[in-house]
Amino acid sequence: MAGMKTVLAVDDDPDIIEFVKSVLSKHYRVVTGFSGKECLDLVGTTQPDVILLDVIMMHLGDGLDCLRTLKQNPATKDIPVIMMTSVSEVYDYRSQIEESFFPHDRWLDKPVKADVLLKNVREVLGE
């Protein structure tokens, strides 16, 4: 694990977390969390190279609130964040989110295919 880049995956669905770990753990150190609060707690201790963040977790804006907090903090603002959601068919967050207010690096609709997840993580990391 030494020398591997770290991915912090945060989602309240344990199945998504297991999927992300199974896809990415061959290439990256994967640390997981289940809420926006846990994400913010883990960022300081894990120093992730990229964050995969679910939009809706414990409450409607959990992921978006977390994203805003990360991007407003000088210590974490430059960590790339890939937002993930499964509710785009019900409510298209992408058309409602002002990018300057919620600055994210990528947006993935769940369920995401393994190759698409890996490709996006690699691209965001410049690999």
Q: CA 76, CA 17: separation in Å to the nearest integer?
A: 22
* Token representation of residue 94: 């992408």
- Residue 47's contacts (CB-CB under 8 Å, 6 or more residues apart) are 6
Give the DSSP H/E element, type plus range, for residue 116: helix 114-124
Q: Name every residue whose Cβ is closer than 8 Å to that of residue 33 and which is 6 or more positions away in sequence.
A: 8, 9, 10, 39, 41, 42
Instruction: Per-residue pLDDT tens, the chain, 127 aa: give them.
Output: 668 999 999 999 999 999 999 999 999 999 999 999 999 999 999 999 999 999 888 765 688 889 989 999 999 999 999 999 876 544 445 455 555 555 567 888 889 999 999 999 999 999 9
Say whether pTM exceeds 0.85.
Answer: yes
